[in-house]
Amino acid sequence: MRGATRRRLRRFRQILIAGTLVGVVYGGLINRATGGRALTGSFVGAVTGATITILIGSSEVLLMPSRWGVALQRAPFLVTFGVKWLAYGGVITAVNVGAWGERVLGLFTGAPLGPSTLTPLSVVFSFVVTLGFLFVLEISNIVGRRTLANIVLGRYHRPRSEERFFLFVDIAGSTALAERIGAAAVHRFLDRVFRLASDPIDDHGGEIYQYVGDEMVVTWTVAEGRRDARPIACLFAIRATLDSAAGRFEREFGVAPGIRAALHAGPVISGEVGGSKRDIVFHGDVMNTASRLEQATRDLDRSFLVSADALSRLAGTERYALEPLGPRALRGRAAPVEVYSCEAGHARA
C-alpha cells in the first residue's frame, strides 16, 4: 500500500472516531436532558455520527485527491466551502430526517423507533459541527495543518530553540521556461510540480515551510527527520514522482521538471511573528547556509548537496551514494562548509 494511501486511511480513521464520539456525547446529553435514557441516546448518536462521518469523511479524504476533487479544491475559497457545505448539508439532513440511528437501534431492540421530535435540533447541531470541521479543514489547507495546530496551541508563542533540517528544492530551468511559454503557463507548471511534491513530503513527515518563486523549503525537527534519513528519502521520492509525470509535463509544457536541492541542519530560533497576519518563522544561520548550498549545486555541477552537519544528524544514510567534495566556501559565510554530493544507490566501497 502506498504511503499516501496509508496516510489518507489513517486520517479517515481519525475523523471517523472523532465524529462517532461527538455523536455519542451529543446523543447521550440531549436524551438525558429531555427525560430519556442516556445510553439509548448515545447509541443513536453514535450511529448517526458515524454514518455522517463516513459519508463526509470518505469524500474529503478519498474523493478530494481525485481529478474532480482537485478541480473543486482549486476553485475560490468561498466556492469550495459553499459547494461542500451544501452537499454535506444534504447528507446531514437525509441521515437525521431519515432517523438512521433510530432505525438501526430498532433493528437490534425490536422497538419500532422512528424520527425523534428533536430531529430539527439534531440537524442544526450537525450543520454547525460540519461547518466548523470544514472551516478548519479549508484553513489548514491554506496555512498547513501543522502551522495551524501550532498557532492554535501556542507552541511557538514564545521563541524557542530547535534543531532542524532544512531541504531547499529548486525547480531547474523555470526562468528560461518563462521566456518561452510565458509567466501564466510557468505558474501552472510550478503549481503542478508543487502539488505532486506534496504527497512525498507528507509521506516522509516533512513540513512545507514556504514557497519562494520556483523554490520550496521543507523542514523537519531533527527528532522527526533522523530515522531512515527522511529528508534525503523525501528528495528522491519527489524526484521519482516528477519523473513518473514527465510525459504529461512534456505534452503540456514541452519540458519535464528537473530539481536541484540542498540539505543542511542545525539550531534555529522558532517563533510566531506578525500582527494582522501571524506566521511561524525560523531564524538562524542554518537557513542562509542551506540556501547557499542550493546555489552551489550549479557551481559544483551536482543535483543534490548535503552538508556534513546534516549527515551527522541522520540515520540510514548508508543506502545512498555519498561523494565527499571537501570543505567549500559559501558566499556570506566566513567558515567553509563540509559538503557531500548525494545520489540514489548504495555508497561506494
Same structural domain, 168 and 116 = no
- Overall pTM > 0.85: no
- For residues 27 and 48, the answer to whether their CB atoms sit within 8 Å is yes
Same structural domain, 315 and 183 = yes
Mean pLDDT of 99-112: 63
User: Which residues are registered as beta bridge partners of 272?
Assistant: 280
pLDDT tens, residue by residue, 186-231: 888 999 999 899 989 988 999 999 998 889 999 999 999 999 999 9
Which of 281, 259, 263, 262 shows the shortest CA–CA distance to 271?
281
Q: Is residue 110 pLDDT above 50, yes or no?
A: no
**Domain span at 118:** 3-143
Same structural domain, 176 and 107 = no
Burial (CB count within 10 angstroms: exposed 0-12, middle 13-18, buried 19+), residue 318? exposed
pLDDT band at 302 (very low <50, low <70, confident <90, very high): very high
- For residues 343 and 320, the answer to whether their CB atoms sit within 8 Å is yes
Cell of 90: 444534504
Tally: H helices and E strands in the chain: 14, 8
Same structural domain, 167 and 308 = yes
- Does some domain include residue 265? yes
Same structural domain, 284 and 329 = yes
Same structural domain, 109 and 204 = no
Average pLDDT over the chain, rounded to an integer: 83
Same structural domain, 241 and 287 = yes
pLDDT band at 117 (very low <50, low <70, confident <90, very high): low
Same structural domain, 243 and 116 = no
pLDDT band at 267 (very low <50, low <70, confident <90, very high): very high
Same structural domain, 255 and 137 = no
- Does some domain include residue 232? yes
Q: Is residue 344 pLDDT above 90, yes or no?
A: no
Q: Can you tell me whether residue 218 is helix, strand or coil?
A: strand
pLDDT band at 164 (very low <50, low <70, confident <90, very high): very high
Which of 115, 143, 171 is a domain's end point?
143
Same structural domain, 68 and 117 = yes
Same structural domain, 47 and 191 = no
pLDDT tens, residue by residue, 26-49: 888 877 777 777 777 788 888 888
User: Which residues are registered as beta bridge partners of 321?
Assistant: 343
The domain total for the chain is 2
Same structural domain, 73 and 209 = no
Which of 143, 171, 187 is a domain's end point?
143
CATH value at residue 292: 3.30.70.1230
Which of 143, 177, 208 is a domain's end point?
143
